[in-house]
Amino acid sequence: MTATEPATAPAPPGCPTSRPLLAVDGLGVRFRLPDVSVHAVTDLSLSVRAGELLAVVGESGCGKSVLAHALLGLLPANATITGHAVLHHPDSDPVDLVTCGQRHLAREVRGRRVGLVPQSPATALNPVRTGRRLLRETLRAHGRDRGGADRLAVDVGLDPADLDRYPHELSGGMAQRLVTALALAPDPALLIADEPTTGLDRPLVDHTLDLLRRRCDSGAAVVLITHDLAAARRVADTVAVMYASRVVEHREGDRLFASPTHPYGAALLDALPDRAFRPVPGDPPTLTALPVGCAFAPRCPRRTERCSGQPPPAPVAGGGTVACHHPIPTGAVA
């Protein structure tokens, strides 16, 4: 199946400059409810290249996990998806994940070219199979050595002996590490990790992040979906900040953490314990009643009447984009 490649912005400085492995253009996701529509993802465009770790960050409910599920066709029947998400592969034609259909996603994409570390491991594991059987079945299905199960367990920080347990016998952290191993078993070119450090203590968080970083350093690509800004800062090449269904800032990680240009990104960073430790004021809007203009305006100290209109993404000095009528100058203090 072929797809027309959408236009994509150049990679931010410091990132791989080859053709994107995944190019998302104008992606939108709406959920139809009896009386309202939920605008979960709105006009989202981004790309990730081989060797790149892209972190998608933002408060809970901003649309991060919906993005992951939309890319893999895992949304419920009441979802409407628009836009494009083109996946490239050196040995086959590009495929648009939005339009290719469930049959192609199931046979060619999910768990093969794209791996997923789900946010809720308890619902992703077969309760009547041990971790070892799950891993061996996955390895065999992809033509890989079944004896690699123990090695994968060690890679994710799991004692190989724990593979002989059933899912209900595992702690939340153990189950999280098992689903990470299952996602890595086919050696996918792109890994989408949705809150992969949930339930892990700090040493295991760092172990998991370092594992994802090594995946990129060996040539794969990773999309890390997380609310943990410290995790993103530790390993990300690029960061996309989501707010109320939209990407409001997308830049090289080091530059964004040093000098955010969107007031929301600056407020998120100010909430970190090693910074101002000041919560973001106010509450995000509901996704069933998004404002016509900038959704962050009611919480923003820089708002003006101009913010009643939707700000388009604009280039930032040094690379990347920001969607704000009154961005913070790079190097300035918010």
Looking at residue 10, its pLDDT comes to: 46
* Alpha-carbon span 78 to 37, nearest angstrom: 10
Q: Rounded to two decimals, what is the model's pTM?
A: 0.92
CA distances from 81 to 99, 177, 277 (A): 9, 31, 37
Question: Which residue type is seen at 66?
Answer: V
Residue holding tokens 């994409």? 109
Distance from C-alpha of 67 to C-alpha of 331, rounded to nearest angstrom: 31
pLDDT tens for 203-221 read: 999 999 999 999 999 999 9
pLDDT per residue over 279-318, tens digit each? 999 999 999 999 999 999 999 999 999 999 999 999 999 9
Contacts of 278 (CB under 8 A, 6+ apart): 270, 271
- Domains belonging to the chain, first-starting first, are 17-113+188-334 (3.40.50.300)
Q: How many CA atoms lie within 13 A of 94 on its CB side?
A: 17
More confident residue, 121 or 192: 192
pLDDT of residue 101 exceeding 70: yes
Per-residue model confidence as pLDDT tens digits over 142-177:
998 888 999 999 999 999 999 999 999 999 999 999
Mean pLDDT of 89-110: 92
3-state secondary structure 220-289: CEEEEEECCHHHHHHHCCEEEEEECCEEEEEEEHHHHHHCCCCHHHHHHHHCCCCCCCCCCCCCCCCCCC
Q: Which residues contact 172 (CB under 8 A, 6 or more apart)?
A: 121, 122, 198, 199
Q: Give residue 116's Cα distance to chain centre.
A: 10
